[in-house]
Amino acid sequence: MSDILILNGRLIDPSNQIDAPRDLLLRNGRVVAIETPGALGSVEVAQTIDASGLIVAPGLVDIHVHLREPGQTYKETIATGTAAAAAGGYTSVVAMPNTLPVNDTVAKLEWMLDAQRGSLVKLFAMPAATVGSMGEKLTDFEALRQAGAVGFTDDGKPILEDEMMHAALIAAARAEVPVSQHAEDTRLTGGCSMNAGSMAFRLGLRGMPVEAEARIVERDIQLLRDIERTEGLRPHLHVQHVSTARAIHAIRLAKREDLHVTCEIAPHHFALNEEAVGDYDTHTKMNPPLRSELDRIKMIEALLDGTADCIATDHAPHAAFEKKQEFERAPNGITGLETALGLALRVLHRENSLPLPRIVDLMSTAPARIVSLAGRGTLGPDHFADIVIFDAGTEWTFTAEASRSKSRNTPFDGSPMLGQVRYTICEGKIVYQA
């Protein structure tokens, strides 16, 4: 690990309310100095990066990724998934538990987080909230928290039963971590493969109604109210990949009540709508599905007005042979780590005038705060030297073939992007350089 001096960049650090030219000195994996240009003088370092014309920001944080290891390494490994993360500007990622076997014990969590897995960036994990993600018995929240869990989720499946979600929220509140909920009432979505609407009707596909997402969100918010009133606890509910206007409305009202609710929106839900399914394109099949244009607009509005707390990719790699099936049989999910920043800058910043500091907040500072990643999502002195350096004005085209992920299942192959990552630095080590 060598000292690095970053000169002449525009530092954007929302946590410290900085948006100004700054030079940074990195040493032993930490930020040791942040000064106005030229103030660091002639410091001797092993490497100097001239960031003239570039944005220097806290490394991006993704609190919702699927890395497929163990059990499905033909789709992705921790090493390949985190290489894609580094290329996308991410320095921290949080892995979901729907591996084979499910990550639901201390031994499995420790195995996943072991350095031998070859993670290129800092890896965190949310183990399953219930044993085997079967929704019948809680995992050992306290033991898993002590082993490094940053939250709990049965992602890929909802915690469907009221009593089980009630118990999970209480256990997580005592462990001081969030429950991340995949909001889907599966009693309404059996056999469904896309959004319920005119597009599904034209294609002859069964559609997922918006109520399937909204009802679970509304139920969980009511559980928060009940627990605060009867238990004297303040649970943290985090709603994953919100995709419908009705669900975001419920979250907005809950925030006005000062309930502890946060939520994420995935880039594909603010960049695409259900029309992208086109002629049964399985690279547009995901859960929750691409929704109506009105829902897409409401996701953008939620990001603009602060209702949505962060952007998370839901990076979900699949092998080519799995996606080359009939639409209804193909698995849900797309890759997303290498396209998230480019889409956020194009759709949110350029097309909808969201300021760059807000983009950095949504993709770094806020997600780090949601799962309490101390010293990350910020570039204060003595914090981790997790940094992304990018050119916010560069236009480029993403090609799936060039992806560092093991899989290529993306609807954005050949799509225009804005803003190109030049360097990703994780704990003082350059893990990606364009």
- Residue owning tokens 């949110």: 348
Residue type, 244: T
What is the SS3 assignment for 403? coil
d(CA 307, CA 67): 28
For residue 402, what are its two tokens? 């060039």
Enclosing H/E stretch for 10: strand 4-13
CA–CA dist 242, 418 (Å, integer): 24
CA 320 – CA 283 distance, rounded (Å): 10
Q: Identify which of 318, 337, 340, 339 has the alpha carbon closest to the alpha carbon of residue 329.
A: 318
Which of the 8 DSSP states describes residue 332? P
pLDDT at 256 over 60: yes
**Conformational region of residue 92, where left means phi above 0, alpha means psi within -120 to 50, and beta covers everything else:** beta
Pull the structure tokens for residue 180: 């991340």
pLDDT for 25 equals 97
Q: How many residues does the chain have?
A: 434
Distances (CA, A) of 273 to 248, 278, 299: 16, 10, 11
Query: Could you give the angle at which helices 162-175 and 210-231 cross, rounded to 10 degrees?
Result: 60
**Minimal CA–CA distance to 367: which of 225, 181, 240?**
240
Q: Is the dihedral of CA 97, 102, 106, 109 positive or negative?
A: negative
- Does residue 409 surpass a pLDDT of 80? yes
pLDDT at 356 over 60: yes
- Could you give the domains of the chain? 60-378 (3.20.20.140)
This prediction has a pTM of 0.97
Cα dihedral 189, 66, 84, 125 in deg (nearest 10): 140
Q: Tell me: the pLDDT tens digits for 85-122?
A: 999 999 999 999 999 999 999 999 999 999 999 999 99
Please check whether residue 173 is in contact with residue 227, taking contact to mean a CB–CB distance below 8 angstroms: yes
Return the amino acid letter for 394.
T
Q: Catalytic residue at 314?
A: yes
In DSSP terms, which residues pair with 327 in a beta bridge? none
Q: What is the pLDDT of residues 22-72, one digit of tens each?
A: 999 999 999 999 999 999 977 888 899 999 999 999 999 999 999 999 999
Q: How many Å apart are CA 305 and CA 182, to the nearest integer? A: 23
Say which of 309, 314, 386, 391 is annotated catalytic. 314
Read off the pLDDT of residues 326-355 as tens digits, 9 standing for 90 and up: 999 999 999 999 999 999 999 999 999 999
* Helix, strand and coil percent figures for the chain, each rounded to 5: 35, 25, 45
Please say if the pLDDT value at position 1 is more than 60. Answer: no
Residue 420, CA distances (Å) to 209, 340, 395, 415, 417 in order:
37, 11, 8, 14, 8
| Structure confidence by residue, pLDDT tens digits, 187-239 | 999 999 999 999 999 999 999 999 999 999 999 999 999 999 999 999 999 99
The neighbouring-strand residues paired with 57 are 388
Distance (Å, rounded) from C-alpha 89 to C-alpha 341?
Answer: 8
